[in-house]
Amino acid sequence: MSVLTLKDIKTVVTRALGPKVTIVSHRLEDFTKEKNGIFGTHQLLVVEVEDGSYEKKTESFFVKTRPESALIMDTLLDEETFLEEIHFFAQVHPLMMKDYQGERWSPRCFLANKNVLVFEDLRVQGFTHRTKNILDEQSLKSALSSLARFHASSQLAEKRLGKSLKEVFPSAFGEKVYNNGNKFGQSTSCGYETITLMAEKLGLNSGLVSRIHEKASKLVKPAVGKLNVLCHSDLWMNNVLFNDSVPAKCILVDFQLLRYASPVIDFCMLVYLHTTPDYRKKNNLELLQYYHSVLRDVLLRSEIKPKIPSFENLLSDFNEYKLAGMAYASLYLPGIYLNPEDFGTLLNDPTALQKFMFTTRMDLIGPAMDKDPVYREKLRGIIEELLEEAERVFG
């Protein structure tokens, strides 16, 4: 049975193309042969339509539903995680776009109900993720620009509403990554155990890893007395799409791990997942200045004039929160940096993925460190940076 009814398809077509088109035919097909995420099944809705002049044309739409694998649904995906994105596009996103002026940072959504999301097909517009996790400077700044516009949209909505988005939607944006009470949060504990094992394998002192875990779980909470915004919280390479324009434009996708916290958490995650330690040492200040300039420009263009955070405050917050960004890099990159074939196999094998997320990751990571010196040194750089920052933080 199709996840989309004829009524759903008519709604999508009307919202996307207007009320004067007639649906001639429609079909669902696979979006790709391989998975590019674990939190949903991706399909393509292909619709042939006819306008008032009887001219036919074909349009496509991106369709996202729950994962096909019962194992993933039972062991990895919490129901509220899938529903978070549906709620975001149905209720929150319209509020964020009401006073926003500028380039878009998200895909257009034409349908959001309890079972399915239907978006514009960004692929036909040339948007795709970069094949390499390390972004060139132009792409990185494009991503930071989109992130700043997303955060500014959150501030604009709150200024108009006169209250925070968390107050408006008190049951939304709950912590998922650092929450042992849900499935995905439990996998984070496995990730920190893996950081300990990687550090020991590299001959590094792993004694501070448990304290890093505890500290990071506090940093991702709403910042008391500081700026908080709606944060994306899952800014790995498959969720940051670019087109081939010059300079490239960026669209953020997959809003399932939303949290309400300091915007610097997102900034740190994006930067530490897509740059090298050497690059960060030289360019972190410039990147933060660029992010702040975009955020400031968007807020200044608005007629409702929300308070603009100072760069000095953002810099202070960055120095406080960057440990969380390093922790994210240490959690995500050991899997992402695997041989692409091994990583692709992992995402397409629910049993192997379940084991990797909850039981042991070193069965894959350990042998890769032994046979691939480049992989090993990449991990060394990440873990050394994390532990050095931890020594600074904890004295």
The 10s digit of each residue's pLDDT in 320-351 is 999 999 999 999 999 999 998 888 888 778 88
Is beta strand 229-231 parallel, antiparallel or unpaired with respect to 240-242? unpaired
Question: Where does the pLDDT of residue 33 fall: very low under 50, low under 70, confident under 90, or very high at 90 and above?
Answer: low
Q: Which residue has the higher pLDDT, 1 or 184?
A: 184
Q: Residue 185 above 60 pLDDT?
A: yes
Instruction: Give the mean pLDDT of 192-208.
Output: 97
Average pLDDT, the chain: 93
φ, ψ for residue 209 (rounded to 5)? Answer: -60, -40
Question: Where does the pLDDT of residue 165 fall: very low under 50, low under 70, confident under 90, or very high at 90 and above?
Answer: very high
| DSSP β-bridge partners for residue 56 | 50
Domains and CATH numbers, the chain: 68-107+131-394 (3.90.1200)
Question: Where does the pLDDT of residue 62 fall: very low under 50, low under 70, confident under 90, or very high at 90 and above?
Answer: very high
Q: What is the pLDDT of residue 349?
A: 82
Question: Where does the pLDDT of residue 81 fall: very low under 50, low under 70, confident under 90, or very high at 90 and above?
Answer: confident
* Number of residues that this document lists for the chain: 395
Q: What is the pLDDT of residue 35?
A: 52
* Model confidence pLDDT, tens digit, residues 18-30: 998 999 999 999 8
Question: Where does the pLDDT of residue 73 fall: very low under 50, low under 70, confident under 90, or very high at 90 and above?
Answer: low
* Model confidence pLDDT, tens digit, residues 223-251: 889 999 999 999 999 999 999 998 899 99
Question: Where does the pLDDT of residue 93 fall: very low under 50, low under 70, confident under 90, or very high at 90 and above?
Answer: very high
68-82, 168-182, 339-353: which range is least confident on average? 68-82
Q: Residue 127 above 70 pLDDT?
A: yes
